[in-house]
Structure 1
Amino acid sequence: MPRLLAMLDLDALFRPDSRTSGWRRMPAVAGEAMIATSHPLATAAGLEAFAAGGNAVDAALAAAVVLAVAEPTDNGVGGDAFALVWRDGELHGLNGSGRSPGTLDEVRVDETGPRSVTVPGAVRAWADLAERFGRLGLDRPLGRGAELAARGVACTARIWNKWATDPAAPFPAPRVGERFVIPDLAATLARLAAEGPDALYRGSVAEAIAAVSWLEEQDLADHRSEWVEPLRLDYRGVEVCELPPNGQGGAALVGLAVYDGLEPGLHSQIEAMKLALADVYAHVGDAPWPEALLDPAHVAARRALVDPSRAIDPTPSVLPRGGTTYLCAVDGEGTAISLIQSIFGNFGSGVVPSGTGVVLQSRAGGFVEDEGHPNRLGPARRPFHTIIPGMLLRGGELLGPFGVMGGAMQPQGHMQVALRLVDEGDDPQAALDAPRWRVGLGREVALEPGLWDAEDELASLGHDVRRANVQHPFGVGQAILRLGGALIGGSDGRGDGYAAGL
């Protein structure tokens, strides 16, 4: 008897499996434009925007709004967004993160609930990107998003798994393949399409947000995005670009800088990243990037701590979780965008203002309470942020956007994908499909099944090796490279989406 979908062992989708063909998944190739996302509806929306005459930013915004509906576990109108945009030979950075309340009653960090909410910055960031770089405006994708939320989205296995295993999910979990609708979110998106982004930050929606969180209406009215100067590191002839604080993108650059000069291999990669995470989590907050972290003398001193014969213990006492969506796009004129958005934990704070369908993010859970720490909770401050978009340049020209979502995995994923692209010469799909490691606390390192053959060697060096039993903690990535006259793209098999172009 055939094994029909209704009889499928869904848990098997999230267990290691050696029954693959052993052959490569081919990268996407296009001559004009390309978009890569974690959900098929989002990629399709991006292609539709291209076909309507939009550029890479328009395609990315179309996809971003769809993802806010199709992946409600990870991102949405109630979250934040960051972006890197390459346009006319210049790189632009956008920090779309929100702040804590302007007035605090006490310094207490909650991971979920009303006191974990910060001002949602994604909608304002979308509007700023559309205004500065787009052609089609934001009302079009917002209107399409409203239609999708009202019509319903067939739930993928990945989203079902994250949704069904969250006991605090604010909406009932759909089954795999079942259409879920969020009518209140549809109404909010339709209102934003008609009235513009101010409809989130002022009026009845802002009032509803303030009514269920520690934010005040003025906190929302005061919110603005910030255009910032990206951080850059030359790694073996390729310029790796990240956003400055309050994000953790600098950790990817510090990790690459420390690794460059070490004996190549997994042990050196893991140790370099542990040192980078320790540096960034100790010194980064809502303040300018501490330039000393990439100073050659500091990098050399950190590199000298790496012992080729044993593992060290420099990681922080806590590593952040995360629920995030990443996408990228490149058009025929050479404009490229790397965009990431998130509500932090699974379903963020778990708080949904009445009548809005908007799940508010839990980014205030990223603050610390420690006196004197640069990331200490304070009035109108932005928390240490996990979400980071990446961009690669070579010889002053665009190579392409890339990113890997997933809490503390993000700088680790950026480093590993960059190493695969630069050191190994992988195409984007191969780089994303490659097995990953994930640094934990102390000497802990988790290995995906493709790296299990390195377990004994790493354990002999003192690493606390764990065999991963689910793929979610290793993130989902996307990447597009411009090589000659063509675009070569990839979409992480750990997600649901694909890369496609015109």
Structure 2
Amino acid sequence: MPSSHGGVVATPHTMSTRAGVEILQAGGNAVDAAIAAIAVQGVVAPETCGVGGDLFALVHRPGEAAPLALNASGRAGSGVDAAALRAAGHQEIPRNHPGAIPVPGCVDGFVALSRLGRLPLASVLAPAIRLAGDGFPASEELVRSFRLGRDLLAGQESAAPMLAATRVGATVVRPQLAETLHAVADGGRAAFYEGAPGAAISAALDGVITADDLRREQADWVEPLSVDVWGAIGWTVPPNSQGYLGIGACAVLERLGWGADPADPGDWHLMIEAYRALAAERDVVVVDPAHVPVGLDLLLDPARLDAVAASVDPSAARKRHPAALAAGGTAYLCVLDAGGMGVSLIQSNFSGLGSGVGAGSAGFLLHDRGRGFTLVEGHPGELAPGRRPLHTLSPTLWTRDGDLALLLGTRGGHVQPQLVEQMAAWVLGAGQDPDVAQERARWTVSLPSEQPAGSHVYMEPDVAPRVVDGLRRLGHEVTPVDGPQSGWGPVSLIKVDDDGARLSARDARVETTAVTSA
């Protein structure tokens, strides 16, 4: 387990971690290193993220009581039409339909974050440009993902370099992406959104995204949400991120008297039910910020969380929890520099390879985050021009007495807040070191919209039989899974001890993950 009083970089890929360390050693701060690392991640692991997707981030600056929160998620194009999709018989937005592809917010996120950095954007993007132009060895995950997505990506020019990599270790060269990144390095957002890449996006979507849509900035600094729990404050980005479910579930869990005993089925039950109780409202609350049906300042209100906790039965799993409205493919990384600045950053394509639509000769794939919209007429999350969709991305940042205590996040789609709850509980609630917490078996539960009433729990192996049997007696339908799940992570985290030591540990569920001290 790496321990340091200097900088630490924790990412899902060795080359991303190496890029972050390179930038720290060149005099950059945590923001510079985070941009460099996520840009490299989009080059070497396009099955997780890229400039065709969205970005969220939290930034802790020493001496400031609250972190900065960035929502760089894109908006639906002017040409989307929910009524036409309904008339065509669709109940959901098809993965490769233009309505599934909002304007990518990632590059606007780079530009907004770079204003907090020390180095010019050109220097920060240099490692990604170098790897895209010179090439890099294909990972097992890249080869597997593009082999499985071959039919989806057939004919997409932007996917050709990865489709050609049919074996692990084969060299992948992405000259078109290198050119796009070089344009951003030289010309900023205008070179991307108003230049050749933007034109390629619009052409790929038959004009559903217009030049005016692309000119509108997609990155907004927003007020973070927070909750007091376990002597710390958990922070996240508000809806349209679902991040509040993770930190909120921790607060509910504390209210339920969780005992942190891994051998006690009752403690497992409380952790599962704390999440299920709060998440019952997700699909109605996690929508475009202008349409959230609850005041953002009330989402984590103590009285509201008290009511959620009161809905949990310690002796039995509820068939279905009521929404608490009366009171809503990914890469996560974190960086902490020697000066104490910390960044919690997440970036995504959504469905692994995204929509399956590429931006032509611009060299990158487009996300399908628009599938977070619904086609239900009148729903606050209904697909409409200019709206932001429900986002599963859930970065968190934790402080104690004004100092940074933990950077924490993961990939995993709708299960991200569940994994955040579990890891925060073990690291902050139980005081475990990151290496111990990373090795603990994880569970996930299905969304209410995806399963009939009842608690449907999927659990990694190595959980004591008495725990599994006890959960079943409490009314949970428990399904063991075959081995550790790569999709339930990788979790990246950096913990800061009381003496200022920085502790981290890689998540072995994904072979490319890496943590390095700088």
Decide: shared fold, TM above 0.5.
yes
Aligned equivalents of 2:99, 2:218: Cα separation in 1: 21
Assess if the C-alpha contact under 8 Å between 1:409 and 1:475 holds in 2: no
Say if 1:312 and 1:443, in contact at 8 Å, map to a contact too: yes
Q: What is the aligned-residue RMSD (CA, Å)?
A: 2.0
Give, in angstroms, the shift of residue 72 of structure 1.
0.3
User: What CA deviation, in whole Å up to 9, does each residue of 1:239-290 have, x standing for no partner?
Assistant: 1111111100111132122222225311111111111211232222112554
Say if 2:18 is the partner of 1:44. yes
Q: Which amino acid aligns with 1:253?
A: I
The residue identity in structure 2 corresponding to 1:185 is L
Q: Give the gaps of 5 or more residues in structure 2.
A: 86-91, 154-158, 259-266, 324-328
Runs (4+) of structure 1 exceeding 4 A deviation are: none
Deviations 1:403-451, CA, capped at 9 Å, x for gaps: 1211011111111111011222111232223211101134211101133
**Equivalent AA in structure 1 for residue 211 of structure 2:** E
Is residue 277–residue 316 contact of structure 1 (8 Å, CA) maintained in 2? no
The residue that corresponds to 2:170 in the other structure is 178
- Aligned partner of 1:500 in structure 2 is 516
The corresponding residue for 1:266 is: 268
| Bigger shift: residues 162-171 or 308-317 | 308-317
CA–CA distance in structure 2, aligned partners of residues 430 and 197 of structure 1: 42
Worse-superposed segment, 182-191 or 159-168? 159-168
CA distance in 1, matches of 2:167, 2:369: 28
Relative to structure 1, is the Cα distance of residues 316 and 367 closer, same or farther in structure 2, using a 3 angstrom cutoff?
farther
Work out whether residues 102 and 369 of structure 2, in 8 Å CA contact, stay in contact via their aligned partners in 1: yes
Matched residues in 2 for 1:203 and 1:424: separation?
Answer: 51
Does the Cα contact within 8 Å between 1:100 and 1:117 map onto a contact in 2?
Answer: yes
Query: CA separation in 2, counterparts of 1:347 and 1:201?
Result: 21
1:257 paired to 2:251 = yes
The number of equivalent residue pairs is 470
CA distance in 2, matches of 1:249, 1:99: 19
The answer to whether the 8 Å contact 1:444/1:465 transfers is yes
Contact kept in structure 2, 1:62 and 1:141, CA below 8 Å: yes
1:294 is paired with a residue whose SS is: coil
Alpha-carbon contact 1:409-1:473 (below 8 Å) kept: no
> 442-451 vs 301-310, which deviates more?
301-310
Which residue does the alignment assign to 2:402? Answer: 396
Q: 1:58 aligns with which of 32, 40, 43?
A: 32
Structure 2 partner of 1:381: 387
Structure 1: gaps (5+ residues): 1-26, 318-322
User: Partner residue of 1:472?
Assistant: 486
Aligned partner of 1:127 in structure 2 is 111
Distance 1:144 1:303 in 2: 47
Q: Which digits, 9 at most, give the CA deviation of each residue in 1:192-217, with x for residues without a partner?
A: 22222221100222111111112112
What code does the residue aligned with 1:489 have?
A: S
- What is the correspondence of 1:403-422 to structure 2 with a 5 Å cutoff? 403-422=409-428
Residues 112 and 80 (structure 1), Cα distance of their counterparts in 2 relative to 1, 3 Å cut: same
For residue 331 of structure 1, report the CA deviation from its aligned partner: 1.0
How far residue 182 of structure 1 moved from its aligned partner, in angstroms, is: 2.2
Q: Partners of 2:500 and 2:306 in 1: how far apart? A: 39
**Aligned pair in 2 of structure 1 residues 179, 313: CA closer, same or farther (>3 Å)?**
farther
For 1:350-369, what per-residue CA distance to the aligned partner results, in whole angstroms no more than 9, with x for missing partners?
11122111101101100112
C-alpha change, 1:297 and 1:192, in structure 2 (3 Å) is closer
State how 1:101-180 maps to structure 2 within 5 Å. Answer: 101-107=77-83, 108=85, 109-113=92-96, 114-131=98-115, 133-166=116-149, 167-169=151-153, 170-171=159-160, 172=163, 174-180=166-172
Q: 1:93 to 1:311 in 2, by over 3 A?
A: same
Query: Against the structure 1 CA distance between its residues 423 and 148, is the aligned structure 2 distance closer, same or farther, given a 3 Å change threshold?
Result: same
Q: AA paired with 2:247?
A: L
Is 1:372 aligned to 2:378, yes or no? Answer: yes
Q: In terms of mean alpha carbon deviation, does 93-102 or 459-468 score higher?
A: 459-468
Task: Name the aligned partner's letter for residue 271 of structure 2.
Answer: Q
Q: Is the partner of 1:479 in helix, strand or coil?
A: strand
Structure 2 residue matching 1:451: 3-state secondary structure: coil
* 3-state SS of 1:338 partner: strand
Partner of 1:463: 476
Determine if contact 1:311/1:461 at 8 Å carries over to the other structure: yes
Task: Give the structure 1 partner of residue 281 of structure 2.
Answer: 279
The 3-state SS of whatever aligns with 1:475 is coil
User: 1:187-226 residue pairs with structure 2 within 5 A?
Assistant: 187-213=179-205, 214-226=208-220
1:481, 1:252 → 2: CA distance? 17
Deviation at 1:452, TM superposition (A): 5.8
Secondary structure at 1:374's aligned position in 2? coil
Is 1:362 matched up with 2:362? Answer: no
Q: How many Å separate the matches in 1 of 2:391 and 2:320?
A: 20
Q: Tell me, yes or no, if the aligned pair for 2:82 and 2:382 is still in contact at 8 Å.
A: no
Q: Aligned partners of 1:174 and 1:49: how far apart in 2?
A: 32
What CA distance in whole angstroms lies between the structure 1 residues aligned with 2:309 and 2:501? Answer: 38
Counterpart residue identity of residue 223, structure 2: E
Of 65, 75, 79, which aligns to 1:99?
Answer: 75
In the TM superposition, 1:208-247 aligns within 5 A as 208-213=200-205, 214-247=208-241
Q: Which moved more, 1:366-375 or 1:408-417?
A: 366-375
Q: Label 1:314 to 1:200 Cα distance change in 2 as closer, same or farther (>3 A).
A: farther
Aligned to 2:434: 428
Judge conservation of contact 1:111–1:364 (CA < 8 Å) in 2: no
Q: Does 1:310 align with 2:316?
A: yes
- Give the letter for the 2:474 counterpart: L
In structure 2, give the amino acid aligned to 1:168.
L
CA contact (8 A) 2:62 2:403 kept: no
**Which residue identity is paired with 2:220?**
E
| Matching residue of 1:342 | 348
Tell me the secondary structure at the aligned position of residue 457 of structure 2. Answer: strand
Deviation of 1:315 after TM superposition, in Å, equals 6.8
Question: Could you tell me how far apart the structure 2 residues matched to 1:324 and 1:452 are?
Answer: 31
Letter in 1 for 2:401: G
Which residue in 2 is equivalent to 1:446? 458
Equivalent AA in structure 2 for residue 490 of structure 1? A
User: CA distance change for structure 1 residues 258 and 327 in 2, over 3 Å: closer, same or farther?
Assistant: same
Distance 1:315 1:353, change over 3 A: farther
My pick for the range that moved more, 39-48 or 489-498, is 489-498
CA shift for structure 1 position 31: 2.1
- Aligned match of 2:264: none
> Equivalents in 2 of 1:479, 1:205: separation in Å?
33
User: C-alpha separation between the residues in 2 aligned to 1:66 and 1:239?
Assistant: 31
Give secondary structure in 1 for the equivalent of 2:349.
Answer: strand
Distance 1:111 1:430, change over 3 A: farther
